[in-house]
């Protein structure tokens, strides 16, 4: 198609009131850094893959150095650290929270579920009710609650 014909077509399309959206889709590819001896990290990776994320696993003996390089505060750290589309995902963050982060694109370093709450993705314990926990949106100035969960279920609006 010639450039002129393309421009005429785009102009006609716009004249009909059709929206023109040329935004690039966000990436669903992530790299997860984790201690190779940690089983719950593998379970979280499975959770993310089942949600449609393309996960590259990177076992490391230097996880603290990865967290420091990516700006994860000590009080928000957990057992694994992921990178996706310019954000850091720390710990057992549910896939829905990651999807919301990528959709809304807030100004932040990333999301964290500090510690390892029972019932969070990868921390499922058969017969045990999931704990309440916050997914924290964090940046250089600190963090705020992004979403609240009970086990795998979001409990805030």
Per-residue HEC secondary structure of 97-121 comes to HHHHHHHHCCCCCEEEECCCCCCCC
State residue 39's pLDDT score.
Answer: 86
Report the distance separating Cα 110 and Cα 101, nearest Å.
8
In this prediction the pTM is 0.82
Asked if residues 137 and 107 have their Cβ atoms less than 8 Å apart, the reply is no
Report the distance separating Cα 117 and Cα 120, nearest Å.
6
What pLDDT, in 10s, does the model give residues 49-107?
Answer: 999 999 999 999 999 999 999 999 999 999 999 999 999 999 999 999 999 999 999 99
Q: CA torsion 114→115→116→119, rounded to 10°? A: -50
- In which band, very low, low, confident or very high, does the pLDDT at 29 lie, cut at 50, 70 and 90? very high
Query: CB count, 10 Å around CB of 134?
Result: 17
State residue 86's pLDDT score.
Answer: 97
130 backbone dihedrals φ, ψ, rounded to 5°:
-70, 145
């Amino acid at each position: 198609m010639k450039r002129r014909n393309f421009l005429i077509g785009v102009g006609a399309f716009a004249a009909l009131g059709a929206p023109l959206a040329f935004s690039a889709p966000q990436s669903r590819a992530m790299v997860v850094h984790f201690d190779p001896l940690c089983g719950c990290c593998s379970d979280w990776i499975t959770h993310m893959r089942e949600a449609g994320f393309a996960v590259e696993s990177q076992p490391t003996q230097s996880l603290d150095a990865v967290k420091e390089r990516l700006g994860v505060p000590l009080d928000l750290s957990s057992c694994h650290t992921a990178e996706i589309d310019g954000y850091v995902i720390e710990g057992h963050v549910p896939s829905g929270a990651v999807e919301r982060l990528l959709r809304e694109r807030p100004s932040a370093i990333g999301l964290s579920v500090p510690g390892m709450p029972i019932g969070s993705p990868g921390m499922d314990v058969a017969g045990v009710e999931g704990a309440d926990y916050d997914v924290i949106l964090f940046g250089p100035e600190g963090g705020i609650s992004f979403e609240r969960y009970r086990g795998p279920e979001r409990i805030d609006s």
